[in-house]
Amino acid sequence: MLKLKMNTKNFRLALLPLMLVLAGCSMAPHYQRPALPVDAKYDQATPVGNVADLPWQNFFTDATLRNLIQLSLDNNRDLRVAALNVQEAQQGVTVQRAALMPSINATASQTSAHEPANLYNTKTSGAVTYHELNSGLSVTSWELDFFGRLQSLSDQAQETYLSSAATERATRISLIAEVATAWLTLSSDNDLLHLAQRTAQSQQESYRLTKLSYDGGASSDQDLAQAESTVRAAQADVASYTRQVRQDVDALRLLVGTDLPATLLSHATLDANWQFPATPAGLPSDLLTRRPDIMAAEHTLKAANANIGAARAAFFPSITLTASGGSSSSSLGSLLGGGTGAWSFMPSINLPIFDGGKNEANLNIAHIEKRIDIADYEKAIQTAFKEVNDALAGQDTWQDQLTALQQEVGANQRDYDYSALRFKQGVDNYLNVLVAQRSLYSSQQSLISAHLGQLSQKITLYKALGGGWKS
């Protein structure tokens, strides 16, 4: 072993120029965001508002819904997995960046050997025992990134991390929207259940009066059968909506990820004071690029772009350095003394000559994966554009539908009142009462469903625009 005096400080100073040599030229293609594959603006044209992220607490003002959303953000398992995926990707960035720097290890070892007498058949040879102590620092297989391969892999890991972070934000927004939609659905079904219960009670009373009339000979068998059929139909609706409400509660519990408040159903109604920010329209379509899911798709595309750089760099030589420095001595007491310095330096170069087409195939795969990611990115934008357009298209039509249904309910209520009065006066038979009652019940159901559609459209637009807006 060659020995000279070199302390740890001098060894690190000797490595410093090597650590700074050529940061490495990137061989990744210059990234350019693909053009938006959609129209410049959405179909709906009204004055443009100030679109920006809005805290969900300002968008959803209902106290019960706020509580449910907060519970879901604290307990939903899908959101936990998304957050853990971000942490995992972040650690992957650290691992990949570490490859750019040398790995320096402190070492210490002792070697003892004993050779018996006359081992080499010489009369002067006696038994010999050797002791060798070594300590020092070593650099193991540090690759100089002349052609940017390691940097490209680091960039790829960074973009993967950013994609995971954007996916976590998209998951959060989707969860908020899903909880809000589930709450509205539960409220709607609960209103339909109460309507069915009121209708069943009303029809039960009508059946009782018809039975008294029948017993007195004033009503026919047909009148009695028709009255009973409406009662049974309403009772079936009560059972159906009771089952649906229970299923809605189970679905909401799964989203929230924990037990629901005990007083939940007492607040589940669409007849609350729902207030949402006024929706701006006439928005430029490039606002879609702020959606977290589209941001995630673009970071995935950037990662594929960096992967091309790594695949290109594989065609060029790789230079690896292995070095060590420290002290060697036959006794512990003189290990750090003068004249015990030892070092080794072993550079190596690997020049790919023949690999059976592996590098070429890997480069082709990298290009294909980038084209796939471009298509996925464009598809994500097209899907988002459709979602926003659909949500904007529902703003005026839902209100028109609600107004018409409210008027229909009023007209059916008057028709039912007149029919019931004429039946009591003996002018009409009970069939007209039943027809009017069924029409009223149906229109009331349609009104509740339309109210659900109108409110759900706001939630859909909240999600489609990437987390709300400011009017």
pLDDT of residue 347: 79
Residues 117-156 pLDDT 10s: 666 665 556 677 777 677 667 777 777 777 778 888 888 8
Tokens of 47: 């004055």
Cα separation, 467 vs 471, in Å, equals 13
pLDDT of residue 203: 86
CB atoms within 10 A of CB 315: 15
The answer to pTM > 0.75 is yes
pLDDT of residue 186: 96
pLDDT of residue 413: 94
pLDDT of residue 285: 63
Neighbouring residues of 261: CB distance < 8 A, sequence distance ≥ 6: 64, 67
Measured over the CA atoms of residue 462, residue 465, residue 468 and residue 471, the dihedral's sign is negative
Cα separation, 41 vs 44, in Å, equals 8
User: Can you state the angle between helices 149-215 and 63-75, rounded to 10 degrees?
Assistant: 140
Instruction: State phi, psi for 52 to the nearest 5 degrees.
Output: -160, 165
pLDDT in tens, the chain (471 residues): 333 334 444 444 444 454 444 445 677 888 888 877 766 555 554 433 444 456 888 888 899 999 999 999 999 999 999 999 999 998 988 888 887 788 777 777 777 777 776 666 655 566 777 776 776 677 777 777 777 788 888 888 999 999 999 999 999 999 999 999 999 999 999 999 999 999 999 888 888 888 887 888 877 788 788 888 888 988 999 999 999 999 999 999 999 999 998 889 889 999 988 888 776 655 666 667 778 888 899 999 999 888 888 888 887 777 777 777 666 665 555 555 555 666 777 778 787 887 788 888 989 999 999 999 999 988 988 888 888 888 887 777 888 999 999 999 999 999 999 988 887 787 877 778 888 988 999 999 999 999 999 999 889 888 888 886 654
Q: Which residues pair with 111 in a beta bridge?
A: 132
Residues 72-125 pLDDT 10s: 999 999 999 999 999 999 898 888 888 778 877 777 777 777 777 666 665 556
pLDDT of residue 193: 96
Tell me the HSE value of 84 on the side-chain side, using a 13 A CA sphere: 6
Q: DSSP per residue over 126-164, as a string?
A: --EEEEEEEEEEEEEEEEE-TTSHHHHHHHHHHHHHHHH
pLDDT of residue 15: 43
Rg (CA), the chain: 38
Neighbouring residues of 434: CB distance < 8 A, sequence distance ≥ 6: 226, 227, 230
Q: Which residues pair with 110 in a beta bridge?
A: 133
Tokens of 388: 């926003």
Q: In what order do the strands lie in the sheet with 128-144?
A: 104-115, 128-144, 318-329, 341-350
Measured over the CA atoms of residue 146, residue 147, residue 150 and residue 155, the dihedral's sign is positive
**In 330-462, where do the E strands start and end?**
341-350
pLDDT of residue 235: 93
Helix (H, G, I), strand (E, B) or coil at 199: helix
> What's the CATH number for 8-113+131-464?
1.20.1600.10
